[in-house]
Structure 1
Amino acid sequence: MTNDTDIAALIGSRICHDLVNPLSAISNGVELLELSGAAQTPEMALIADSVAAAMARVKLFRLAFGPSDCAQTKSRSEVITLLNDISKSGRLSFDWQIAQDLNRGEVRLLILAALCIETATPLGAEIVFRQTVSGFDIDGKGRKIAIDPALWSFEGKSLSAAQVQFALLPRVAQSLNRTVIYTATDTELTVAV
């Protein structure tokens, strides 16, 4: 029988999958307009940029909130491309310093940690992913770190949809036999998994 976490992951994956099709259609439409010789207007550029940002975010959410088959590998270049696409439209930049490919479960864990860091960096941040002897460090460096102790307790009580990563991170870590530890200063937040 499928457990609640698996069902939630399948729902997340289904929603992301279903959103990709209309976003792809919009992207293809913009591309066809460009190929037809239509003038590149600020409005068309805005549509193209918005669709690209939405597609990148949906792919990130599918990876973070979808099922994670640890037998499936995510290539280093695929992860870097996704993070670069996310960086283009937001207040975050990413530096993936992990040299090898990882399994999908490990990538999911690291992305969930980055999503947790994102909530604590209202003014933006650079998020660096590094492999350590015992696991991984995800460092967020920004002008201001704002920790909400209720969220960072990882107890999952009274979370909004925008905070669901705080409920999933410890569960995914446990499924990979890892623990989640964080340390924070006024300008830096490190999550070790």
Structure 2
Amino acid sequence: MTSSLDLAALLCSRLCHDMLSPVGALNNGLELLADENDPAMRQRCLDLLEQSASTSASKLKFFRLAYGAAGGFGDRVPSQEPRELLESLTAHDERVTLEWSVTESSLPKPAIKVLLNLAAMGLESLVRGGTLEVGAECREGATEIAIRASGPKVVFDPVIGKALSGQLAEEELSGRTAPAHMIRLVTEQQDGGVQFAHSADALVLGAVLPDPEGMIG
């Protein structure tokens, strides 16, 4: 079984990989600004820096809830938190539309973690843009999560699917598949489950997480 240390290392690798682009853009913007005297070009550099800084901050907040312990929150997290994170991650891509259908005012921390990671998989699958639908509700002592990504071309790596379903060998785990492996572990610890279905124009991901305390938000 993959140790907690190994999984943490793989998640750190994924975090660093995803942060390279916005942080690199910040560095490039600063270099261009230092050498640029034209007012119009300097403004373009400042716009690039502002967007890159916003993207970096949004991704770090996302990782805090999706991978980390989400310090500062109790056992439940306001549903507005993941909504704002996903809105910020999709704000700069006009090709992607976010549809939010979470009926609860708050969700258990494990459910928030699963929801964000599944939503991230949905976003990654929309290579030509499309719609990301995010839904969750608590009923009969469990949190049910449903993510649907639809568009002209929806791509889903089968290796990630194997990690979600527990069919990936430990030696095959990587930074790319670590989030899916973590989701499977989280759902199993909650005595729940995760599933997915993929076609050329849609990816549907779902999870059920029983609430050990039977708390309904």
- TM-score of the superposed pair, with normalisation by structure 2: 0.66
Q: Tell me, yes or no, if structure 1 residue 151 matches structure 2 residue 160.
A: yes
* Amino acid paired to 2:101: Q
Say if 1:115 and 1:165, in contact at 8 Å, map to a contact too. Answer: no
Describe the SS at the equivalent of 1:113.
Answer: helix
Give the aligned partner of residue 35 of structure 1.
none
- What residue number does 2:84 align with? 81
Q: Say which structure is richer in strand.
A: 2
> In structure 1, what is the equivalent of residue 198 of structure 2?
184
Give the alignment of 1:1-193 within 5 angstroms. 4=4, 8=8, 12=12, 41-67=43-69, 71-90=74-93, 92-100=96-104, 101-131=106-136, 135-154=144-163, 155-157=167-169, 158-193=172-207
Q: CA deviation at 1:141?
A: 1.1
Aligned in 2, Cα 1:85/1:119: closer, same or farther, shift over 3 Å? closer
Give the letter aligned to residue 178 of structure 1.
G
| Distance change >3 Å, CA 129–CA 182, structure 1 → 2 | same
Listed as ranges, the gaps of 5+ residues in structure 1 are 27-37
Aligned residue pairs total 171
| TM-score, length-scaled by structure 1 | 0.73
Secondary structure, counterpart of 2:193 in structure 1 = coil
Q: The residue matched to 1:122 in structure 2 has which SS?
A: coil
Post-superposition shift, 1:58? 1.1
User: CA contact under 8 A between 1:87 and 1:94: conserved in structure 2?
Assistant: yes
Identify the structure with bigger relative contact order (alpha carbons < 8 Å, sequence gap 6+).
Answer: 2
Q: Give structure 2 stretches of 5+ with no counterpart.
A: 27-38, 208-217
Aligned CA RMSD, in angstroms, stands at 3.2
d(CA) in 1 for partners of 2:85 and 2:198?
26
